Structure 1
Amino acid sequence: MSGIIINAKQVAANIREELKVKVNKHKEIKGRVPGVAAILVGNDPSSVSYVKGQQKTASEVGVEYKMFELPAESTEEEVISLINELNDREDVNGIIVQLPLPKHISPDNVARAIKPNKDIDCFTLDNTGKLFRGEKCLLPCTPKGIVRLIKETGIELVGKKVCVVGRSNIVGKPVALLLLAEGATVNICHSKTKDLKAETLNCDILVSAAGKANLITADMVKEGTVVIDAGVNMVDGKLKGDVDFDAVLEKASHITPVPGGVGAMTTTMLIENILEASLEYEQ
């Protein structure tokens, strides 16, 4: 029997409807809508595509989206100078720098320049430290979206065995921490894991964010597993996830597609974080 394809687009749309109401209320209280500043250095195709999605979502909800495009040859100092300017602007509640950056610019140095109260994707050391300690902070958008999607689907996390495939600072590590905070028992796998199949067969929920197309095949998934595919891979010009979707669909109880799955939640969580930054973290 085929599993249920999680309609992440609908879940995200429902959340955006709620955000519209909150943005209007924000305008009544503060006399303006929340504002986000996005910095794009160069013209990486995936970043350009992501920015367009952000702009569309922000416009739909009523958040002011300010785009700052810099040439690829911009220096690290020029990028940080722009961030410092945006840090001081009252009409900017959140700052996001699109990755990847050109090789001559350090993502860590750029992240350190963002004020923690405007760090809407949890890149700063201050916020990642709070995330690790389980303290309140602005959460990273994709991991937050994954956990929210699971919960909105009505899937219980408390006591469940979760296998996270991938240990990046952007998705793998933070989503493991968020799932742990929800009461799940979390196992993190990666490229050095000796027997990945044995690990993935021993879980109730499988989250893959490895960035390797068709890494997760049907023989690696037990019947009834919830499969969340957060992989982003370009194969022959098409966006693919980490999971062999059609084959795994026959074994999973629930599964997210790529595209149309986790990605639909990421931009919505970004907008939610902007609103949260304005209401709860504005200084």
Structure 2
Amino acid sequence: MQLLKTDAICQKIYDNIMSYPIEQRQIVHLAAILVGHEAASLRFIEHKRKQALKLGYQFSLVHLDINSTKHDIILTITQLNKNQEITGIILQLPLPNRLHAWEITKHIAPHKDIDCLNPVNMGAFFTGAGRIYPGTAKAIELICQHYDIDIKSKRVLILGDSNLVGKPAAFWCLLNKATITVCNKYTSCLQNVTEESDIIISATGKQNLIPHDWLRSHQVIFDIGIHIQKASVSGDIDCPEVREKVAAITPVPGGVGPLTVAVLMQHLLLFKFEPDTVSP
């Protein structure tokens, strides 16, 4: 079994960022919006904050109450859009269930949308015209390149159909000539499609959805889920029993998550100093 760690890939990205003069890095400013106190979201925000500051970027957090309305969040986004000192904006997902993310993320200005969630940027990506990828899709691509994983003609199972992970991952796989199956909570016969898959990309937010006896020795797994219980962090699928069974898997922590953050940090630099290279 091969553990698909991303430390070396992240370091390569950060080395490139650090090659920019400190005077340039110090005027890059990331603004994050967090609604509520969900544990995984707090962890991701803190990781982004620490990494941004480590690179010399500025970081601002707008922490909204869990009872904030759609109007409250959109007003915050509008203010950040107008602030010329802000380079990029992220809205930490998921939002409380009563809020629909797509109704809110469309208000992030395309030229500040480092997560690629605005319909302009997402539409460009889905039509193949996008110059930046959503962070997780780019992270999967970089892992495949680093470990020489060719997905062409492979059967890829994507667990979860969110705008943040599932749909971008699915489209990236289509771009690379894979045969894909996207599953959601209404999917039947999940065991059959799991057993028939060559590659599994999981971002369901539901732990232990896939029993390890459904898995096969040739499979490669990208585990994008994160679950926090007291001091422990785990993924959707990653566990000792699974590691003994499959060909390769991204660890949680230490896999797709940190690399996604590195990609977002790279996007910030591009948005600030090379806007023509990222505009759709």
Query: Which residue of the partner structure matches residue 84 of structure 1?
Result: 78
Residue 156 of structure 1 corresponds to 150
Q: Distance in 2 between matches of 1:226 and 1:149?
A: 12
CA distance in 1, matches of 2:236, 2:118: 28
Structure 1 counterpart SS, 2:11: helix
Preserved CA contact (<8 Å) 2:135 2:264 = yes
Does structure 1 residue 229 correspond to structure 2 residue 223? yes
Q: Which structure 1 segments of 5+ residues have no match?
A: none
SS in 2 for 1:278: helix
Counterpart contact for 1:143–1:175, Cα < 8 Å: yes
Alignment match, 2:8: 10
Q: Deviations over 1:106-151 (max 9, x none)?
A: 5333212211111111221212222221111442222322222222
1:109 to 85, 100, 103: 103
Aligned to 2:21: 24
Q: Give yes or no for contact 2:235–2:252 (8 Å, CA) kept in 1.
A: yes
Tell me the SS of whatever aligns to 2:222: strand
Note the C-alpha offset of 1:33: 3.5
1:171 alignment partner AA: V
CA separation in 2, counterparts of 1:124 and 1:32? Answer: 26
| TM-score between the two structures when normalised by the length of structure 1 | 0.86
Give, in angstroms, the shift of residue 104 of structure 1.
6.3
**Counterpart position of 1:63:** 57
Structure 1 residues 63-72 or 199-208, which shifts more?
A: 63-72
Q: Which runs of 5+ in 2 are unaligned?
A: none
Provide closer, same or farther for how the CA distance between residues 223 and 100 of structure 1 changes in structure 2, counting only shifts above 3 A. closer
1:247 lines up with 2:244 in the alignment = no
Percent of aligned pairs with the same amino acid:
33
Does the C-alpha gap of structure 1 residues 206 and 72 become closer, same or farther in structure 2, counting only changes over 3 Å? closer
Q: Which moved more, 1:164-173 or 1:185-194?
A: 185-194
Which amino acid in structure 2 is aligned with residue 154 of structure 1? D
Question: Counterpart amino acid of 1:20?
Answer: M
3-state SS of paired residue (1:86):
helix
8 A Cα contact 1:138 1:277, kept in partner? no
Partner of 2:37: 43
Aligned equivalent of 2:199: 205
What is the TM-score when the length of structure 2 is the normalising length?
0.87
Determine the structure 2 residue equivalent to 1:145.
Answer: 139
Do the aligned residues in 2 keep the contact of 1:94 with 1:119 (CA within 8 Å)?
Answer: yes
Give 1:177 shift.
Answer: 0.5
